[in-house]
Structure 1
Amino acid sequence: MTLEQISPMPTEPGILAFHQRCESFYPPDAVDASIAEQRQWYDALCAEFSPPLPEGLVRQDALVAGRIPVRHYRPSVVETPVRILYIHGGGFVVGSLDSHDAFCAELADGAKAELVAVDYRLAPEHVWPAAFEDCRDVLSALLADGREVVVAGDSAGGNLAAGITLEASLAARRGIVGQALIYPALGGDLISGSYLEMANVPGLSTADVAYYRDVLQAPDDDPVAYPLSAPDLSGLPPTYISAAFFDPLRDDSRHYAARLALAGVDVTFREEGQMIHAWLRARHMSPGAAEGFRHLVQALSKLVGTV
């Protein structure tokens, strides 16, 4: 089996239509374009899939430590003091508070909890560990007032969420009561399993994953950069992991969930059988994505204690 093989394809019409719309904004060879072009295309794509915000939700932008932009979301109904820290995806290269704005708003509204999104520094202007440090500093600021936090993120944001949660666990820091990782990039080997089987599926290729790793310049043996390399995962908080079947990152989720379970962590793993990477953006046009999003909201609600 080689990376040049033809990868399998999903069959759900909704997710295929979603991918077709994505390609009209973000071409398959986008990683060969300039960083400025990649960000322009990504912003246009995200705007295409941004529905109106939930009624009654309040947003407020702020700075943490005088330098890190964050956005606070307070839904019309809040039933818990626990807050969600959300870290956006985008390969560590693209993404912003605006790119995931509607998604964060719907998560806060669905979980009936306040949510804080972080606008961490992006590569290649800021390589490892800049993004990690920003997310860790925002987490520290949220924990400083004594309220508990659930850490969540998608794709590259899932990597950062797992990394700051792991570091906090190793330091025996209290206050993180859960983590939710959505098709996270956790440091798989790029040469086996889903990295071969799903090398050229729609949405994200193995070559794309390799490109983003090269841009990030994180050390391969650092467990907070690549949590799958951590020797011990015991002591981590309850975890929800959502994977897409048609995604080269799929086995990162499978392997991390299995290792968490073996370490005695309360972990729930869900794999979306017809979904591709970034399926969360398809939640309003794909039945499978809508179902996956419903389960994610339920999981976050459980972690923050509203169900």
Structure 2
Amino acid sequence: MHIDAFIQRFSAGLTIMEALPLPQARRAYDKRCRSFAPPDPVGMQINDCRIKGVNVRLFTPQQRTPGRVLFIHGGGFTVGSTDSHHGPAASLANLLEQEVVSVNYRLAPEVSYPLMLADCRDVMEAIQPIALVGDSAGGRLVMDLAHSLEHSPPLGLIYPPVGELSAECLGESAPLLSRQDVLRLRQECPEIIATQRDRRPPATSIEVLTVARDPLTRPIETTVAEWRKQRASVGYRCAEHMVHAALHAQAELPEMGDAWRDFCLALKQRL
């Protein structure tokens, strides 16, 4: 698939969602994201259950080493679920050779950001993960979980919102995520603004994956440079020509697939 074809297909789904009530829009988002996912890896066991009252999905690969990885999905804090990010979570489990626990945390506007974070924290404390991985909004949640720990396990961050998210710090608008989208999110969820807490690394061992066409990439790169100055070990890679949400189609987009595999294998070395 060419990136332009992905943008067209994903954008069409977002346009449909705009005319739907929120519950239907969420189902449409899940279906659109899942449509890009490849078949589950051979031999992988997938089970839905509840941990500390929170819905989760377990991805257990055929080849597995001890330990669990916590995965937190994206979706701008208002959409997304274990269904929408089924493909990335399954791929993550397969590449890491670790059981991945994907969290179906509650969403805004029904709950506030602190309650989303509390859902993720409850699962984290129950499973004692050897790594925390978050996609987009999930990356913000992962960082704030890590900031609350005295000694955080390694982190995997996929184009997360970092810092103050002001107009001055953002990069140019791009397909599927504009500067206005980010600024609107900043207004709707002010608790995600992390000017102070992101000045220090949330962990000493971090892998970061970004895409070239994304207004969040500029503040991410600024933050990565600051973390490195503070002697955190931070791996960084940027998928050329790719856009926000391209992770869903990593099996069909060569640049995204290569960057994703590099990210996962680098994270595996940190476990």
Question: TM-score scaled by structure 1?
Answer: 0.82
Q: CA deviation at 1:135?
A: 0.9
Measured in 2, the distance between the counterparts of 1:287 and 1:266 equals 27
Measured in 1, the distance between the counterparts of 2:68 and 2:156 equals 13
**Alignment check: 8 A CA contact 2:37 2:251 kept:** no
Q: CA deviation at 1:191?
A: 1.1
Instruction: Report the counterpart of residue 72 of structure 2 in structure 1.
Output: 87
Question: In the alignment, residue 241 of structure 2 is paired with which amino acid?
Answer: Q
Instruction: Report the counterpart of residue 248 of structure 2 in structure 1.
Output: 281
Structure 1 residues not aligned, in runs of 5+: 1-12, 219-224
User: Is 1:14–2:2 an aligned residue pair?
Assistant: yes
User: Is 1:78–2:64 an aligned residue pair?
Assistant: yes
2:237 is paired with a residue of what secondary structure? strand
User: Is 1:177–2:153 an aligned residue pair?
Assistant: yes
User: Is 1:295–2:271 an aligned residue pair?
Assistant: no
Higher relative contact order (CA 8 A, sep 6+): 1
User: Is 1:36–2:50 an aligned residue pair?
Assistant: no
Instruction: Report the counterpart of residue 15 of structure 2 in structure 1.
Output: 27
Aligned residues between the structures:
271
Q: CA deviation at 1:137?
A: 1.4
Instruction: Report the counterpart of residue 7 of structure 1 in structure 2.
Output: none
Instruction: Report the counterpart of residue 10 of structure 1 in structure 2.
Output: none
1:177 is paired with a residue of what secondary structure? coil
Instruction: Report the counterpart of residue 176 of structure 2 in structure 1.
Output: 203
Which segment is superposed worse, 233-242 or 49-58?
A: 233-242
User: Is 1:230–2:216 an aligned residue pair?
Assistant: no
Q: CA deviation at 1:212?
A: 2.5
User: Is 1:269–2:236 an aligned residue pair?
Assistant: yes
Measured in 1, the distance between the counterparts of 2:195 and 2:209 equals 16
Instruction: Report the counterpart of residue 167 of structure 1 in structure 2.
Output: 148
Instruction: Report the counterpart of residue 140 of structure 1 in structure 2.
Output: 125
Bigger Cα Rg: 1
Structure 2 residues not aligned, in runs of 5+: none
**Alignment check: 8 A CA contact 2:239 2:259 kept:** yes
Instruction: Report the counterpart of residue 227 of structure 2 in structure 1.
Output: 260
Q: CA deviation at 1:120?
A: 0.6
User: Is 1:212–2:179 an aligned residue pair?
Assistant: no
Q: CA deviation at 1:60?
A: 1.9
Instruction: Report the counterpart of residue 8 of structure 1 in structure 2.
Output: none
Give the direction of change, closer, same or farther, for the CA distance of 1:257–1:234 in structure 2 (3 Å limit). closer
Q: CA deviation at 1:192?
A: 1.9
**Alignment check: 8 A CA contact 1:61 1:71 kept:** yes
- Identity among equivalent pairs (%): 31
Q: CA deviation at 1:237?
A: 2.9
Q: CA deviation at 1:37?
A: 4.5
For residues 188-199 of structure 1, what are the structure 2 equivalents within 5 Å? 188-193=164-169, 195=170, 197-199=171-173
Measured in 2, the distance between the counterparts of 1:52 and 1:203 equals 25
Give the direction of change, closer, same or farther, for the CA distance of 1:240–1:48 in structure 2 (3 Å limit). same
**Alignment check: 8 A CA contact 1:123 1:215 kept:** no
1:188-217 alpha-carbon deviations (Å, 9 max, x no partner): 333124x2x422x10111111222333334
Question: In the alignment, residue 208 of structure 1 is paired with which amino acid?
Answer: D
Measured in 1, the distance between the counterparts of 2:195 and 2:35 equals 34
Which segment is superposed worse, 97-106 or 208-217?
A: 208-217
Give the direction of change, closer, same or farther, for the CA distance of 1:34–1:294 in structure 2 (3 Å limit). same
**Alignment check: 8 A CA contact 1:84 1:150 kept:** yes
For residues 126-137 of structure 1, what are the structure 2 equivalents within 5 Å? 126-137=111-122
Measured in 2, the distance between the counterparts of 1:77 and 1:206 equals 41
Question: TM-score scaled by structure 2?
Answer: 0.92
1:94 is paired with a residue of what secondary structure? coil
